[in-house]
Each structure stands twice: as structure tokens, then as C-alpha cells.
Amino acid sequence: MGFSDDVLQGLFPGKKNRIGFKENFVVSEEYLNEVDLWMDSGEGRDALAKVYQNYHLKKAGIPCEPEVHILRSPYANGFALNCQKTMTGKIFSNLFFAFGQRMLALGYRKVSLDRKMQEISDQVKVTEKLYFKPDFVTPRHSDKINQLFGNVTIEKVYIDDKPDFLKVLVTVYSDRLYDEARPFDQYIEHLFKADE
């Protein structure tokens, strides 16, 4: 769509998204240091422990708040955390970046951090996404490439500036050039209990 189409769509809205914007952005080292301190604080440990506990309760079929949805397939595994009623904006944001910090500790490199804004049905949806890849080491001639757990996407979504959900998704390489990915259950343990 061109600029004039965007203006006309804004003046005479239809059923489609009226505003869309995407950008890469950076977070200061100072803020990431605050997130590291938060992870070691009582509030941070409690928040991580609650999500970890609820993930396992969901696997056992026991309802819990905040609700966790488990995503399972042969090539992608993950979970989504419904944050609408149970989480402050600060904890929501800190969890998102805490998961990112844990990825770096697991031997991953950050590929991107981006933000997408959309107006949908008179609501503003903001999606922030961290994307990580294993820090590949070139294998010896006969060795396969170690993919660790696979590629990792961490996403948080706000609706009208309020926390909506947080999602972590791990997708594996199925190419024969790569070693088999490590088990997702092992990934969960590292994500939530990195220092144990």
C-alpha cells in the first residue's frame, strides 16, 4: 500500500489492520544489568519459579494461573504464558529479557530484537520479539554441526499497553548436516534453573 492508500484507510477504516509499523531496537546494557539483578531478587526468583511450576502443572493437566499453553510438534516446541490478569508490566518485561539473558548463557547469539505495532479492531497490539541461533562452531570435516536445542524465538505481546502473553518457541534443524537437537525438556530446565 502507498502513502495515500494508508491515509484513506485511516479516514475510512475497513476490517483490515489500519496501522502497521515494524522496527529493530536496542536495549541498554544498564537495563540488561537491572534484569540480571532482578533474576537474582526474590521477585525475580518467584516469577521464574511460578512460570516453571505452572508449565509442569499444565503438563499434568492441572489448571493454574497464569495459564500456560504447551506447544508440541516434531520440529517446534514451546510454551505460551497468558499474562492478562496476573502479571504487572514490569514483571512481564523482565521475564522476556530474563529469558533472553538465559539464552546467551546457554551458548546462543542474539540475531535480532524487533518491535511490531498494529491497530486491530480499535486496539493497539505491540509485539516484541527476540530471536536467537546457536553459536555454531564450524565442524571438523566429518562432524555434524551442533544445533544445541535449535533456534529460539521469545515473544511478548501487549494489547493496549497491557501484558497479553509471552511465548517461547524452539524450532529444530532437520537437515542432516546438524546433530540431533537436545531434548526440549532439558531446554526448559536450563531456561528456568540456569544456576543450579
Q: What is the pLDDT of residues 5-38, one digit of tens each?
A: 554 455 555 555 466 889 999 999 999 999 999 9
Residue type, 125: K
Give the pLDDT confidence of 91-100 residue by residue, as tens digits. 999 999 999 9
What is the reported pLDDT for 113? 96
Beta strand 162-171 with 76-82 is antiparallel
Largest CA distance in the chain: 61
Burial class, 42, CB count within 10 angstroms (exposed 0-12 / middle 13-18 / buried 19+)? exposed
Residues 128-156 have a mean pLDDT of: 86
Q: Give the orientation angle of helix 42-59 with respect to helix 89-105, to 10 degrees.
A: 80
pTM of the shown model: 0.86
